[in-house]
Structure 1
Amino acid sequence: MPWSIPHIPYPPSKAGFWSPVTSTLNWCEEDYYATVYAAEIVNTLTNLLFMWLGIKGIISCRRNQHAQVFQVALVGYLVVGTGSFLFHSTLKYPMQLVDELSMIYTTCLMAYASFSYTRPLGVRLVLAVSLTFLSVFITLYYHYLQDPVFHQNAYAILTTVVVLRSMHTMEVALRPRWRKSREEDRLHRQKQGLPVPSKERQHYENVRDMKTLKTMWFMVVYGLTMFLGGFAIWNLDNLYCSNIRRWRRQVGLPWGIFLEGHGWWHIMTGIGAYLYIVWGIWLRHCLNGHQDDYHLRWAHFWQIPEVIRTTPETETSVSRDKKST
């Protein structure tokens, strides 16, 4: 049955302002069909989400005084979106490197944030030098190979290590039955004659942390679902590109935009990566014992979460009553 919904036929591809293509990758979206100034218009514009969330996150970090490392990571997130915007606009090799390598550098920053917490200065310096060396090695070796599979595998391994490490830290720090260090600290404080939290205060903290843990796990599952879902759509886009291009031309514009798999990858990974950074910010405040000073503002899952300072007006009466130890 022919497609009957009103549509605009796809214009033919043509030579563009940035021609010729010099990148080692060229995605399933046809080149320069919409404008001569953007090689892949949908893949270009979907990066505006990265750029908007990056700016929003940086402003939030500065306003709420989050750890400096997360501000730097959000700058890296913004660079990823900007680099991808330029890459898909031009399909030039230098812009491809900006897009892909900034993903590696931002993940290394998050690795430093995850593994350096509470470590002595010497360990932090060794970790910083090691991650810098790793970033340089990946940069040089990728430029030598010019094989996108190497970059994709390196990024996947780094991301998996960082996420698993953060999950472990979250569980050990927040789940009451794993917090042996807190019980040891309680006994130590008793022996030293220092103030010890009351049983009521300890119960409040346990209930609070379990509630926090539940929300954090929802963030993890939601973020991973978005990330892996985007990856699956992107792979389908690569595997069935010829069929998808034919379907797009059959349904025409604007309906064909919804069949741009790499654009969906940008949207879904942009949300997933941003959720991970917000999760990391909230986890760091919990590790610092500031659960009562900061809270997550996230009324609905389709909204953008933000970790903000808790003002006296937003504190619950229970929280105020349990502050004393």
Structure 2
Amino acid sequence: MAYSADIDGYWGPITSSTECCENNYAVSPYIAEFYNTLSNIPCIILAVIGLVNSIRQRFEKRFSVLHLSTIVLGIGSVLFHATLQHVQQQSDETPMVWAMLLYIYVLYSPDWHYTSTMPTFLVIYGTGFAILHSQFHFVLSFQLHYIFLALLCLPRMYKYYIHSKGTPARQLAHIYILTLVMGVICWVADRTLCRRLSSYYINVQGHALWHVLMGFNSYFANTFLQFCRAQQLKWSPQLCYFWGLPYVKVSKPKSQ
């Protein structure tokens, strides 16, 4: 539960079905949750970097779409936390589900023998969820649904991890796991320890930290999957660094 003053800011009365542990309009009269809004910027920047590299290295379009979905998610989260309006809440939570459906497709499609059934089902599923979520104020059910989709990805991620033995990709997997665990801790603390955290002189902004950590988590997950996919396609992937940020460079056979 949010610990915030019951005030109406620039965007009017709060209509979202959930709030975070940050005082509303405490920094700017135009931004409801200032830190939760700005903390999405690293996520968007990292996704743009990933998108540029995917296009430059001519990875399959699925990876470009995956980075684009992260950008859309980051922008939607900015809109939601800046306004705390129900309509903008959909622009945050619906892309969260769509992004997980894209991960499911990227993870499972290489071994899926019926090429049209999986994307067709996922598109119908994602569209149906968007329609239902726009009409009903899901809170707990949305969170459980999102966790369920994330859990569906873990067995496949583990399989890729096992097959990446002896490659630099394992470094990416370890950072992916670390940022995921740290992000979950920040999110849970923000939801369950709000009153205690708000009593301190400085609010640690757990949800904002969740945004930053999930931005890095998404980037490392995407980079890890690109490395593994390049191995499957025999593109001789290499892990390179740009200002300390890892990215995948491939050498495709001349026939490709």
Q: TM-score, normalised by structure 2?
A: 0.89
- Which residue of the other structure, out of 75, 78, 93, is the alignment partner of 1:85? 78
Match of residue 186 from structure 1 = none
Check the 8 A contact 1:226/1:268 in 2, yes or no: yes
Structure of higher RCO (CA pairs closer than 8 Å, 6+ residues apart)? 2
Residue number in structure 2 paired with 1:45: 38
CA contact (8 A) 2:184 2:210 kept: yes
Q: Corresponding residue for 2:239?
A: 296
Quick one: distance in 1 between partners of 2:197 and 2:112?
50
The CA distance in 2 between the partners of 1:166 and 1:43, in whole Å, is 29
* C-alpha distance 304-149 of structure 1, shift in aligned 2 (>3 A): farther
Q: CA deviation at 1:309?
A: 3.4
2:223 equivalent in structure 1:
278
- Asked if 1 retains the 8 angstrom alpha-carbon contact of 2:8 and 2:14, the reply is no
- Give the equivalent residue in structure 1 for 2:250: 309
CA distance 1:102–1:49, change in 2 (3 Å): same
Q: Which runs of 5+ in 1 are unaligned?
A: 1-11, 175-209, 312-325
Q: CA deviation at 1:40?
A: 0.5
- Of all paired residues, the percent bearing the same amino acid is 23
Amino acid at match of 2:247: E
In the alignment, the residues of structure 1 paired with residue 231 and residue 63 of structure 2 have an alpha-carbon distance, to the nearest angstrom, of 15
One-letter amino acid of the counterpart of residue 304, structure 1: L
User: 1:244 is matched by which residue type in structure 2?
Assistant: L
Rounded Cα–Cα distance in structure 1 between residues aligned with 2:157 and 2:189: 30
Q: Deviations over 1:69-103 (max 9, x none)?
A: 00001000001110001100000111111111101
Which runs of structure 2 are paired with 1:144-159 in the superposition (5 Å)? 144-159=135-150
The aligned amino acid for 1:267 is V
Which of 162, 180, 183 is equivalent to 2:153?
A: 162
Query: What is the SS of the residue equivalent to 1:116?
Result: helix
Matched, 1:211 2:166: yes
- Structure-1 residue corresponding to 2:88: 95
CA positional deviation for 1:144: 4.6
**1:16 to partner: Cα distance:** 1.5
Distance 2:104 2:7 in 1: 43
Structure 1's consecutive aligned runs of 4 or more residues displaced over 6 angstroms after TM superposition are: none
CA distance in 1, matches of 2:110, 2:82: 39
Cα RMSD (Å)? 2.2
Contact in 2 for aligned 1:13/1:32 (Cα 8 Å): no
Among candidates 223, 226, 230, match of residue 183 of structure 2: 230
**Greater Rg by CA:** 1
Q: Please tell me whether residue 265 in structure 1 is matched to residue 210 in structure 2.
A: yes
Q: How many residues align?
A: 248
| Structure 2 residue ranges without an equivalent (≥5) | none
CA pair 150-304 structure 1, distance change in 2 beyond 3 A: farther
